[in-house]
Amino acid sequence: QTTASKPRMTRGRPHQTSFAFALLCTASVLLLAALWRTAKLPKTAMLRNSPSKLKHVAGARLSRGVSTALFLPNRPGTRRSVIRGIAGTMSTMAAGAAFASSAGTTSDQIDLKQNPRSFFLQEPIKENIKRTDPLSKDRADLIGHIEYPEKSPFISGDFKRYDEADDSDFYSQPRFVTHIDDKAIEALRQYYSTQLPKGDSKAAILDICSSWISHYPEDFKPEKSVGLGMNGAELKENKQLTSYVVQNLNIEPKLPFADNSFDYVTNVVSVDYLARPIETFKEINRVLKPGGRLINSFSNRCFPTKAIELWLNTPDWTHLLIVASYFKIAGFESPQAYDITLPDGRDPMYVVEAVKK
C-alpha cells in the first residue's frame, strides 16, 4: 500500500498527529476553564495581578525590596510567553508573528522606527535595578535607559476591557476601603513627604481618580486640593480635599479646569483603569503649571474586569513602560520610574513621574 493510499490518520507520522490533537484538546480545555473563572469574578473582586498573570516571573522578593516581577528572564520560552501576551492584542496574524519572532532579541537590536510596538520588548538593566528608599532623595531610576518610538506603540485593542459597561454603575456604591496594604500606603506617604511642601502653602494639587483618602502627609496643607473621582460619597469624606468633582474620565477626559492651574497632580493605583489615557495625560499636562509634576503610583492589584487589556497581559516591568509612554506622548519631560516598596512590604509600590516642560 502506497503512502498516498493510506488512511489520513495513519499517513506519515501518526504519533505526531496524535500529539498535536492532544495538545489542541488540552489548550481548548484550559481556555474554557479560564473563561469560566473570569465569568464567575464578582465585579467588586480586587485581585492580585501576580499569581495569575506574573507567574512566569514569580519568586521570592529580592534583597532591598525589588520585586522579581521586574525581570524578564532571557530564557526564550519565558520571553516568548510575555511577548505572546502582548502580541495577542495585535490586529493581524503577521504583526503577531513578527512580534513573536523577535523573542531572542536584545534591547539594542529593537527597531523602534520599523516597529514602534517593539518598545515593550526593552528590558531593565539588571545591575541597575534597586529599590528606592521613599524618604531618600537618592533615587534609582529604573527606566533611564529606555528609548521611545516616534510613533505611538499602542493599538486600540490595548485599551479594551472585559467589562465595557458604564463605569458609573460599577462605582455607584461607595467603597470605604484601601486597595493596597498598609506598608504600600506608608511607602507612598513617605514618598509624598519628600515631594510636597510641608505646612501651609500656596500650592494647588489635583488628585484624579480620587476617593475617600488621598494618602498625602498630614503636614501637607495646600491652599487648593481638588479631588476628581467617580463616587461623590467617597469624595465627600476625603478630609484632605478642599473641593471635589465627580467625573468619568473614560467618557469625558477633558478636565474642568483652566490651563496652568495646578502645581501637582497625583493618581494612585488607578492608571490601569484609564481607557483613554493619552487624552487624559494631555489634559493633565494642560492644567499643570510649567514645571508642575504628575506623580502616578500603582501596585499589582486591580479590578480585573475594569483594567485595560494590555495591563492585564503584561508584568510589572512593562507597566512602567506603559505609563512612561503615556507621559512621552502627552508632551512631558522624560519620565522617571522608581520601586519605592518598603523592605518589609508585601504589596509592591511603584512611582512613575515627570514634570511639565
Per-residue pLDDT of 174-206, as tens digits, reads: 888 788 999 999 999 999 999 999 999 999 999
Per-residue pLDDT of 289-323, as tens digits, reads: 999 999 999 999 899 999 999 999 999 999 999 99
Q: 200 to each of 140, 206, 218, 219, 295, how far by Cα in Å?
A: 30, 16, 11, 8, 21
CA–chain centroid gap for 38, Å, is: 20
Question: Where does the pLDDT of residue 16 fall: very low under 50, low under 70, confident under 90, or very high at 90 and above?
Answer: low
Query: Does the pLDDT value for residue 127 go beyond 90?
Result: no
Cα(11)–Cα(1) distance, integer angstroms: 11
Cα(125)–Cα(4) distance, integer angstroms: 55
Per-residue pLDDT of 214-261, as tens digits, reads: 999 999 999 999 999 999 999 999 999 999 999 999 999 999 999 999
Cα(189)–Cα(217) distance, integer angstroms: 6
Which H or E run includes 232? helix 232-236
The identity of residue 210, as a single letter, is S
Q: Which has the closest alpha carbon to 208: 229, 187, 190, 222? A: 229
Cα(1)–Cα(54) distance, integer angstroms: 52
Strand partners, 225: 205
Residue 145: Cβ within 10 Å count:
12
Per-residue pLDDT of 107-122, as tens digits, reads: 456 899 999 999 999 9
Q: What is the pLDDT of residue 49?
A: 43
**Which residue would you say has higher pLDDT here, 89 or 298?**
298
Tell me which of 36-40, 89-93, 164-168, 326-330 is least confident. 89-93
Instruction: Report the share of the chain in percent with pLDDT over 70.
Output: 70
